[in-house]
Amino acid sequence: MAGTIYGYIRVSSKDQNEDRQLIALREVDVPEKNIYMDKQSGKDFNRPQYKKLVRKLKKDDLLYIKSIDRLGRNYEEIQNQWRILTKGKGVDIVVLDMPLLDTRRGKDLMGTFLSDIVLQVLSFVAENERTNIKQRQAEGIAAAKARGVKFGRPLRPRPENFYKVHKAWREKKIPLKQAAALCGLPEGTFYSMARKFEKGG
């Protein structure tokens, strides 16, 4: 007996567009109500919609995903989830960008063997790309710092009355709370500014 057809979409952030994945799932007639989508990183499987989908899936259901990295980016975890879904739950998976990853085909030993090899290679490629992205980001930040690009919040300029108020505070004529209020700053900010000023910053 044929099971239910589902689709899963993952985009890495709220800004990313899911249209390409959505169109691909519609083209294979996945019902709109059976499409689950997460907008978060693929570093692990702790995703609300994915968890909800897995709870729904049962034997002979069919799950479509656009590409293997939409499932995840961690080599071991992709393989683990694949085993849970196909062997544990008896679900068929189709990766649209990779026709070899279609568990409905080749149910014999050779078909399973080929599918497992392709999955291992693609899982490795997905994780390797994630590592490369992190490395490129780190190199980019290091290069930008070397060029003098500043990261983090811009420094708050000292208020015009800072020096006068700072002197009064250091001479114990006014308390910290009053000094900060006179400069229109939170106490912590005034104190940090004062310490930096005293160190010659």
Active-site residues: which are they?
12
DSSP 66-127: S-HHHH-S-HHHHHHHHHIIIIIS--EEEETT-TT-BTTS--SHHHHHHHHHHHHHHHHHHH
182: left (phi over 0), alpha (psi -120 to 50) or beta: alpha
Q: Which of 177, 180, 175 is nearest to 161 (CA)?
A: 180
Q: Which residues contact 106 (CB under 8 A, 6 or more apart)?
A: 112, 114, 115
Q: Which residues contact 125 (CB under 8 A, 6 or more apart)?
A: none
Q: Per-residue b/e over 167-196, b at no fewer than 16 CB within 10 Å? A: eebeeeeeeeeebbebbebeeeebeebbee
